[in-house]
């Protein structure tokens, strides 16, 4: 989970707290469901990115509508996941004055996503 750079001192208390928070968040997140609907096609994804259900109200589903609904649900899932990781990073930074971004690749990805999103607005 943690990837430290050679020769850097990482606060073990901060890393233990970060690991505890990340594990709890991951466990909670994986149980959540993310739903999107496009023109009557409803897609439900789990927090593990598993497709739970597809509902269109008919026997056939347009591939384009299915893909749009899936992409919307996946986008919501990704956004919520990144938001959660950035909140954990901020909490650890505030409490321990240590930025875990360099030690946790998922957090670094989340921070880059949020920075990109903020610069686009």
- Checking if the pLDDT of 12 tops 60, the result is yes
The CATH number linked to 88 is: 3.30.1310.10
Q: Is the pLDDT of residue 5 over 70?
A: no
Question: What does the chain come to in residues?
Answer: 121
Model confidence at 121, pLDDT cuts 50, 70, 90, reads confident
Domain annotation covers residue 14 = no
Q: Return the structure tokens found at 104.
A: 């946790």
Report residue 7's pLDDT band, with 50, 70 and 90 as the boundaries: very low
10 falls within a domain: no
Q: Could you tell me which of 76, 24, 89, 88 has the C-alpha nearest to residue 49?
A: 76
For residue 101, which of 78, 116, 85, 117 has the smallest C-alpha distance?
A: 85
The reply to whether 101 falls in a domain is yes
Where in the sequence is the domain holding 73, given as residue range(s)? 22-120
Domain assignment present for residue 79? The answer is: yes
Whether the CB-CB separation of 45 and 77 falls below 8 Å is answered with yes
Question: Is position 107 within any domain?
Answer: yes
Looking at the predicted structure, is the pLDDT value of residue 28 above 80?
yes
Mean pLDDT of the chain: 90
For residue 87, tell me if it sits in a domain: yes
Strands (E), the chain: 33-38, 41-46, 51-55
Read off the pLDDT of residues 44-98 as tens digits, 9 standing for 90 and up. 999 999 999 999 888 888 899 999 999 999 999 999 999 999 999 999 999 999 8
């Amino acid at each position: 989970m943690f990837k430290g750079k050679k020769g850097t001192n990482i606060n073990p208390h901060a890393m233990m707290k970060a690991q505890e928070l990340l594990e709890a968040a991951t466990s909670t997140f994986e149980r959540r469901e993310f739903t999107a609907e496009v023109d009557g096609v409803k897609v439900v994804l789990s927090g593990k990115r598993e497709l739970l259900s597809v509902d269109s109200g008919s026997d056939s589903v347009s591939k384009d509508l299915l893909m749009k609904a899936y992409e919307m649900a996946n986008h919501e899932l990704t956004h919520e996941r990144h938001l959660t990781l950035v909140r954990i990073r901020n909490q650890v930074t505030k409490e321990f004055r240590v930025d875990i971004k360099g030690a946790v690749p998922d957090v670094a990805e989340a921070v880059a996503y949020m920075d990109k999103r903020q610069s686009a607005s």
